[in-house]
Amino acid sequence: MTDEVRSGLPMVVPEPLSDLETLQARLAVAEQREEAVRMVLRALIASLRPFGFDKKRFKRCVFEEGQDTPDEGPASVRHTVLNQEARRVLREAR
């Protein structure tokens, strides 16, 4: 990081990411998206019963996975994917 002075106040300007760092960040996000889809699939499998699909159990499983998901960093993207994919499963289960 470099320090620049503008109007008498120091300003911290982040250095641009290299191509490798950018790709690593994108890979980390893609891996977390994949993990979120796996979580939804595990919740779906846990919710299947011999006579149908237990929506309450599915919602509870997804909610618990969301509680264990961090709010910062690449893993935070799991919240969005969990929500989107769980809604898709519930919409198709009608």
Confidence of residue 93 (pLDDT cuts 50, 70, 90): confident
Token pair for 51: 């006579």
Q: What's the rounded Cα separation, in Å, for the pair 31 and 53?
A: 28
Q: What's the rounded Cα separation, in Å, for the pair 75 and 30?
A: 10
Residue 10 has pLDDT above 90, yes or no: no
30-44: average pLDDT: 96
Residue 3 has pLDDT above 70, yes or no: no
Give the pLDDT of residue 94: 79
Is the separation of the CB atoms in 65 and 79 below 8 Å?
Answer: no
pLDDT tens digit string along 39-75? 999 999 999 999 899 999 999 999 999 999 999 988 9
Residue 59: alpha-carbon gap to chain centroid: 17
Cβ-Cβ contacts under 8 Å for 4 (sequence gap 6 or more): 10, 11, 13
Residue 6 has pLDDT above 70, yes or no: no
Give the pLDDT of residue 20: 87
**What type of residue sits at position 70?**
P
